[in-house]
Amino acid sequence: MSASEITRSGVKTHLSNVVVSGGVAYLAGVTPATGTTVAEQTKSVLDQISGLLAGVGSDVSKLLSAQIWLTDIRNRDAMNEVWNAWVAPGAPPARACVEAKLAAPEWLVEIMVTAAV
Amino acid sequence: MSASEITRSGVKTHLSNVVVSGGVAYLAGVTPATGTTVAEQTKSVLDQISGLLAGVGSDVSKLLSAQIWLTDIRNRDAMNEVWNAWVAPGAPPARACVEAKLAAPEWLVEIMVTAAV
Amino acid sequence: MSASEITRSGVKTHLSNVVVSGGVAYLAGVTPATGTTVAEQTKSVLDQISGLLAGVGSDVSKLLSAQIWLTDIRNRDAMNEVWNAWVAPGAPPARACVEAKLAAPEWLVEIMVTAAV
């Protein structure tokens, strides 16, 4: 596979859930499928990310970078509890976490990652 | 070209419009040059991105990831209409879209992408 | 080193300060260690980034992309003054700068970069 070869999965009109190129998987910003609390919603997001990574032969231990958006930055500790239980010990990604309003009012968290494949 | 060789275009004091390295083009966050509505401004932004991609031998079908900032997330549908007409069918990038205040009060949208070269 | 080999430094529970893979260094979002003004805090952030880049054999002239979050976008000019004195002339990264609330109320700026290694 040449560096510029591109494969995609979960292709929708406006985005692909995963784009792989040059040994890197670029995931879309993942939003909660279930849950009302930030802990439940973070669990839902990370479960989806685990599935997307598995689908391209990667996993949580190969994360490179992550961006986390919270609609209320005061939810960071509650999100972190779920996050910390999910990342591979000794192998967390580079990460930033900031506050932002998201596309649906019921979403409290959105996470976008890259991973090595 | 070795993986760590870097080329740049549109070099200003504070940023380069495009940086290419290791087969990936990293574009700056592009803001509207014209337009007052979110549709017009999105069109302006995407036209500029098309030009920047062409300048490094890439194009919309090779997008890897995109971040979109809207000053009002309720403008997402209007932005998406223009976005969906622009992306290559079957080949949209991984994408996240969140709300954020931008550097100029008249800007309603800013978009930052990466693409394979 | 194969493209999917990953090295990390500054590994904490929730993030790594730097993850290197495929010739790219992914840095965590860096927040101020010192300073009360946006200029002082930007200096603190950029000093830390210089140190992190040096630690993986990279430097400011090899920056690929940068994201800057300001808690008040009106601080952009004050941040830019420090930023412009820091970047390598002729070699600034692709960059976006938007407003966002950050994890600690005293932080005015956070910066996340990638660089070639």
DSSP state of B93: P
The percent of residues in chain C predicted with pLDDT above 90, rounded, is 97
Tell me which residues of chain A have a C-beta less than 8 Å from any C-beta of chain C: 22-24, 62-67, 73, 76, 80, 83-84, 87, 90-100, 114, 116-117
Query: What is the band of C4 on the pLDDT scale with cuts at 50, 70, 90?
Result: low
pLDDT tens by residue, B105-116: 999 999 999 999
What CA–CA distance (Å, rounded) separates B27 from C24?
16
DSSP character at residue B28: P
User: Would you place residue C48 in the very low, low, confident or very high pLDDT band (cuts 50, 70, 90)?
Assistant: very high
**Chain A: residues touching B (Cβ < 8 Å):** 3-6, 8, 11-19, 21-22, 24, 26-29, 67, 69, 100-103, 110, 112, 114
Q: How would residue A65 be classed by pLDDT, with cut points 50, 70 and 90?
A: very high
Instruction: Report pTM.
Output: 0.97
Does C1 have pLDDT greater than 50? Answer: no
Q: How far, rounded to the nearest angstrom, does the alpha carbon of residue A4 sit from its chain's CA centroid? A: 23
Mean pLDDT of A9-25: 98
* B16-57 residue pLDDT tens: 999 999 999 999 999 999 999 999 999 999 999 999 999 999
SS3 (DSSP) at A13: coil
Q: Decide if pLDDT at B1 tops 50.
A: no
When scoring A1, A4, A45 by the number of chain B Cβ atoms within 10 A, the one with the most, hence best to mutate, is A4
- pLDDT higher than threshold 80 for residue B4: no
Q: Write down the ipTM of this complex.
A: 0.96
Instruction: Give the model's pLDDT for residue A68.
Output: 98
Question: Top-level CATH class of A6-116?
Answer: alpha beta
Closest CA to A29 of B110, C15, B34, B98: B98
Q: B66 is written with which tokens?
A: 């995109």
Residue in the structure block whose two tokens are 């407003």: C99
The separation between CA B13 and the C-alpha centre of its own chain, rounded to angstroms, equals 20
pLDDT band, residue A1 (cuts 50/70/90): very low
Which fold does the domain C20-116 belong to in CATH?
60s Ribosomal Protein L30; Chain: A; (3.30.1330)
What band does A4 get if pLDDT is binned at 50, 70 and 90? low
CA distance linking residue B49 with residue A12, whole number of Å: 21
